[in-house]
């Protein structure tokens, strides 16, 4: 779930160092595994509340498949608008801040981003230009 503020800036989060995959990396999305009997929408709303401590109206953006040697993700990408404040899930998120999408893409050239999150960011940037 991509979280934007009313200025159109994207919330970028820093993952905790105790994450199994990509510890300390930056990520553009909140999210997780869909539980048995749960819809994508229910999962997204639950993950927003668990990871960021917020409730927000979500909007479907696109479906995405990502695979590399370490990871395989079938994802449904949603967005929402929220200004914060956020209550980070301590096991998941160490820090986070809003920034323009193009600045996030520029930052990805200097700082490590989760590969699936980077794929989402690139797609957003391409659609933002169109």
C-alpha gyration radius of the chain: 14
Residue 83 near residue 68 (C-beta atoms within 8 A): no
Q: Domain 2-129: give its CATH code.
A: 3.90.79.10
Confidence of residue 130 (pLDDT cuts 50, 70, 90): very low
In terms of DSSP bridges, do strands 72-81 and 2-4 run parallel, antiparallel, or are they unpaired?
Answer: parallel
Q: Tell me how far apart the alpha carbons of residues 109 and 97 are, in angstroms, rounded to a whole number.
A: 18
Per-residue pLDDT at 128: 56
Confidence of residue 127 (pLDDT cuts 50, 70, 90): low
Q: Tell me how far apart the alpha carbons of residues 23 and 34 are, in angstroms, rounded to a whole number.
A: 22
How buried is 29 (Cβ within 10 angstroms: 0-12 exposed, 13-18 middle, 19+ buried)?
Answer: buried
Q: Tell me how far apart the alpha carbons of residues 5 and 84 are, in angstroms, rounded to a whole number.
A: 8
DSSP alpha helices (H): ranges in the chain?
Answer: 40-52, 101-107, 115-129
Q: pTM higher than 0.75, yes or no?
A: yes
Per-residue pLDDT at 66: 74
Q: Which of 10-14, 33-37, 78-82 has the lowest mean pLDDT?
A: 33-37
Which of these, 65, 57, 43, lies nearest to 120 by C-alpha position?
A: 65
- What are the extents of the domains in the chain? 2-129
Instruction: Tell me which DSSP letter residue 113 carries.
Output: B
């Amino acid at each position: 779930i991509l979280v934007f503020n009313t200025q159109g800036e994207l919330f970028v989060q820093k993952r905790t160092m105790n994450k199994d995959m990509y510890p300390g990396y930056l990520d553009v999305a909140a999210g997780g595994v869909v539980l048995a009997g749960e819809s994508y929408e229910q999962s997204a709303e639950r993950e927003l509340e668990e990871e960021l401590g917020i409730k927000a109206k979500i909007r479907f953006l696109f479906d995405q498949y990502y695979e590399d040697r370490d990871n395989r993700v079938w994802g449904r990408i949603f967005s929402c608008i929220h200004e914060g404040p956020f209550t980070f899930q301590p096991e998941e998120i160490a820090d986070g801040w809003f920034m323009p999408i193009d600045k996030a893409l520029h930052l990805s050239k200097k700082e490590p981003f989760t590969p699936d999150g980077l794929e989402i960011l690139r797609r957003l940037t391409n659609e933002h230009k169109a």
